Structure 1
């Protein structure tokens, strides 16, 4: 994926967390009506939930991709091992048939 290294970066996660926290503090401490505070609280909560769901889906998809890659590598290794043992097995079969 394009942003894989960026998402795994701890400093980037800290930056996003700090920005979200500062935005919430600003929204709660501002001198606006209670309805606007409730609206911003709802919007921030929804955005954080969507971001968490997106990161979770990214993690699941990368895990699936990793498992498929490992399965393909295992199949390739088994194929190479079978190809390496084939001449030996054929010679033993020839000896047994004589």
Structure 2
């Protein structure tokens, strides 16, 4: 199937190496979903196979489910990517690709 990368609009420090790794990890599966060090899923920085994700999204909508992870929990073959793996492969040691920038203070804090 086809795969898509889904990312939030407030993540300006995307690293191509991380995105490519997610695509490679997702191949042959329903997707690749990063998981933060404290166990939080990163659904808006992930790769999904369009067919299964579309089916899961339709099901969630039909059931009135608005939780963003609902379609993902319906997928049977997601590859979970721990942050340690991204660090281990030297793709993004500081994990800046996952930083959210929402305020002027964030911009000032994270600008290189």
**Same-fold status (TM-score > 0.5):** no
Larger Rg, first or second structure (1 or 2): 1
Q: Which has the higher contact order (CA 8 A, sep 6+)?
A: 2
TM-score of the superposition, structure 1-length normalised? 0.28
Greater per-residue helix proportion: 1
